[in-house]
Structure 1
Amino acid sequence: MTTSAAKGPAGYFPSIEKKYGRPVAEWKELIRSSPLTRHMELVTWLKSEHGLGHGHANALVAHTLAEGSGK
């Protein structure tokens, strides 16, 4: 079965927006404005401070950090 859904971290974005009520752009801005810089520190922070599940936090951090590195 083939789907046209986004692959990788972006595939989580629709469910993240629906579940937590914030647009992905807002989550990415939060991640960028955090003093934390390491992937797992940011994931842990999103989970503890904002109540995200591990998969959702991981997807947002991975996507945001990949953008920030110019890739």
Structure 2
Amino acid sequence: MSTPRVPAPEIDPAYKPKGPASYFPSIEKTYGLPMQHWLDIAADQLSAGASHMAVVDSLKTEHGLGHGHANAVVAYVKAELAA
């Protein structure tokens, strides 16, 4: 199995994360899948040249994420890929 391009952060439940990662516990709870699933989808699409909003729209229409959750996933992946 290959290493994810953008690994999911380990979030300590004792500390509230800041920025896009603050949505991650809610995303996992709401959609029942680990963050790595969503990060991989976004990373694949962004690496293929899709724009931020195109990936947000894909996560919303093809995978059922809400706008805020989809935007947080894409923003996190974009920041990590740029680092």
Distance 2:49 2:59 in 1: 11
Tell me the TM-score normalised to structure 1 length: 0.87
Distance 1:4 1:44 in 2: 30
> Could you say which residue in structure 2 is the equivalent of 1:46?
59
> Are 1:36 and 1:42, in contact at CA under 8 Å, matched by a contact in 2?
no
> Could you say which residue in structure 2 is the equivalent of 1:4?
15
> Could you say which residue in structure 2 is the equivalent of 1:17?
28
Tell me the TM-score normalised to structure 2 length: 0.75
> Could you say which residue in structure 2 is the equivalent of 1:33?
44
Distance 2:72 2:22 in 1: 9
DSSP-derived class of the 2:27 partner: helix
**Aligned-residue identity in percent:** 51
Structure with the largest fraction of helix: 1
Q: How many residues align?
A: 68
Q: Which runs of 4+ in 1 moved over 4 A?
A: none
Letter in 2 for 1:24: M
Distance 2:54 2:21 in 1: 20
Which sections of structure 2, spanning at least 5 residues, go unmatched?
Answer: 1-13
Which sections of structure 1, spanning at least 5 residues, go unmatched?
Answer: none
Distance 2:58 2:18 in 1: 24
